[in-house]
Amino acid sequence: MSQRIAIVSGGSRGIGLAITIQLLKEGYKVIIADLADSVKDSEKLKDPNCYWHSCNITNSSQVQELFQKTIKDHGKIDLLVNNAGIIKDNLIDKMPEEDFDAVVNVNLKGTWLMCKEAAKYMRVQNSGKIVNIASRAWLGNRGQSNYAASKAGVISLSRVLALELGKYNICVNVVAPGLIDTPLTRNLKPEVLESLINAQPTKKIGQPEDVARAVAFLGSEATHFITGQVLYVDGGKSIGSNMI
């Protein structure tokens, strides 16, 4: 069997980096679609099967170029992981309109553009997997009216695409992380982080690798009959226990 080809947006940092490393371990060739030049110098990503492509996922021309080059260089796309996203938190009465627009533009429109382009090639192949990264926050989080709405949109988008693309042997699923140990969470005040951990049914924080393994599972060839689903990686927080 030929080597599987994956595109991971935002694959050089945090959860995206863990996803990239996991897929490399599982034998994929991984194209990182990212704006960060630092990925080229990362020791963790010095792998002959790891490639970098500068891409602003909100720019349709750049997204088209990414997929065209991937097909030209590798001949196919087996897996798309839409991980790139931004956060600009604030209570709604204090949130600038531009912060709402920015978050929805990257998290939702960017994911839509990437899925749109992937669908063109995967339909021709009559195969493919798309895994979109949402968040448990889509269920509601104070101060995240923009972020929660964007991730709810990602889930709805994924369900629609599962219906549209299923007859072409394309599976579209969602991984929804909860509280994960990333640079963002490490920058929280200790007392805030402690309260968030205490709100978890499992009383612990997740690791990026937990999300990466879920992505690899849904992206694998073994999951051809799972589509339109949301897999929570959140220590049980989505159940509603100890919500804060």
- Residues known to be catalytic: 147
Q: Could you tell me which of 103, 74, 64, 66 has the C-alpha nearest to residue 3? A: 74
Q: In this structure, are residues 162 and 228 in contact, taking their beta carbons and an 8 Å threshold?
A: yes
Please calculate the CA angle 212-186-43 and round it to the nearest 5 degrees: 55
Token pair belonging to 23: 């897929």
Token pair belonging to 69: 């080059």
Q: In this structure, are residues 130 and 82 in contact, taking their beta carbons and an 8 Å threshold?
A: yes
Task: Return the axis-axis angle of helices 208-219 and 14-25, rounded to nearest 10°.
Answer: 50
Residue in this structure with the two tokens 């999300």, named with its chain if needed:
211
